[in-house]
Amino acid sequence: MNEKKNNVRVLLTSSNGFVGHHICEHLLKTTDWDIVCIDRLSNPSNKGYDKLRDINVFDDSRIKLYQHDLNMPIGDGLAAEMGSFDYILHVAAASHVDNSISNPLPFVKNNVNSVLTMLEYSRSLVSKGLKKFLYFSTDEVYGTAPFGVDYAEGDRYNPGNPYSASKASAECLCYAYSNTYKVPIVITNAMNILGERQDGEKFLPKIINCVLDGVVLPIHSDPTKTQAGLRHYIHARNVASAIVFVLKETSELLDNIDSSLGKFHIVGEKEYDNLALAKLVASYVGKELKYEMVDFHSQRPGHDLRYSMSGDKLALLGWSVPVTIEESIKNIVDWSLKDENLHWLGK
């Protein structure tokens, strides 16, 4: 019987989610690792469509999928069936800011409970060769970024809404488990992520739909309605590339003295305001953009005009964005407009 060239095993949570299925796709394309997936498989925004099996490199011989709600502990039976892992990627989280503002209690409980479940489970794997537990976090833990400010790894938290507070809380638990139980943990903070099969309420598919349907797109802006919100957008596959780089090419882990160690920012290569992004998308769709500047941030506290992080650390370590934001967006638009993919836009 032929032995596998590489027996690296990775556990991925939320494998059927937006970011998770792109990470899975990247692992299938660029590694020979075996992938075990945990997913609740209950996201109503999927509309019954299976993101994971829609990727054209899906390989049943390398993927095992388990349905489990991470609000519940991982029992001994499931743990025994899954086995041990080299890497754990905890990507699962509720991520819709509006939902966290309108109904914070179950939202925050879900995000905190899921990381507790995975950290407790990871404690049992430290003696079995676990190399890294990666917690996938967000730029929003730092709060709004004034113009000229790009937060660096280790800067203070200042979450502006329940979603970002739940992610900051989870990061603090990671520090605690690293310090107390010696779980080998790293944290990545990613900026606003785009990609194929993104849920319809997110900004990019909303732009495409508004342009296709000739509907006015609201653009969140400052109180003067002259400055749109700003983000460093990045494609999910570029994020996946950075995650694999952190796993394979870095040795830092969280540290109880230096809060910058074991933290890695995943940042798009340039800053776009949301109006400029919408105009770029419309140009690729080939139709007119109708829009209205809306002072949404003043009307709805908890939404921030600008987020920004420094990407210098990963850049100095040797990672760079593989595909530019302009090429990424064109690829997403072209893919979304194919007849066989229109259902992801709700068409």
CATH code (residue 277): 3.90.25.10
Range in 54-58, 132-136, 163-167, 265-269 with the lowest mean pLDDT: 54-58
Range in 14-28, 173-187, 288-302, 308-322 with the lowest mean pLDDT: 288-302
Whether 3 maps to a domain, the answer reads: no
- Let me know: does 221 contact 277? Beta carbons within 8 Å: no
- Please check whether residues 210 and 175 belong to one and the same domain: no
- Please check whether residues 259 and 336 belong to one and the same domain: no
Residue 171 has pLDDT above 90, yes or no: yes
The 10 Å Cβ neighbour count of residue 172 is 14
Whether 280 maps to a domain, the answer reads: yes
Question: What is the distance of C-alpha 33 from the center of its chain?
Answer: 21
Query: Kind and range of the H or E element at 48?
Result: none
* Closest of 202, 235, 237 to residue 344, by C-alpha: 202
- Structure confidence at residue 41 as a pLDDT band (50, 70, 90): confident
Whether 163 maps to a domain, the answer reads: yes
- Please check whether residues 153 and 215 belong to one and the same domain: no
* Closest of 45, 188, 159 to residue 100, by C-alpha: 159
Whether 4 maps to a domain, the answer reads: no
- Residue 301, pLDDT score: 64
- Please check whether residues 239 and 294 belong to one and the same domain: no
- Structure confidence at residue 5 as a pLDDT band (50, 70, 90): low
- Please check whether residues 143 and 186 belong to one and the same domain: yes
- Please check whether residues 300 and 183 belong to one and the same domain: no
Domain count, the chain: 2
Residue 216 has pLDDT above 90, yes or no: yes
- Structure confidence at residue 26 as a pLDDT band (50, 70, 90): very high
- Tell me which of 260 and 200 has the higher pLDDT: 260
Distance between CA 114 and CA 254 in Å, rounded? Answer: 20
- Please check whether residues 245 and 300 belong to one and the same domain: no
- Residue 92, pLDDT score: 95
- The two tokens of residue 265 are 């920012």
- The two tokens of residue 119 are 């950290």
Q: Whole-number mean pLDDT of the chain? A: 93
* Closest of 208, 221, 347 to residue 280, by C-alpha: 208
Prediction pTM value = 0.94
pLDDT digits (tens, 9 = 90+) for 196-214: 999 988 999 999 999 999 9
Domain that holds residue 240: 9-193+232-266
Whether 261 maps to a domain, the answer reads: yes
Distance between CA 200 and CA 44 in Å, rounded? Answer: 11
Amino acid identity at 347: K
Distance between CA 85 and CA 87 in Å, rounded? Answer: 5
* Closest of 244, 312, 191 to residue 28, by C-alpha: 244
Residue 195 has pLDDT above 90, yes or no: yes
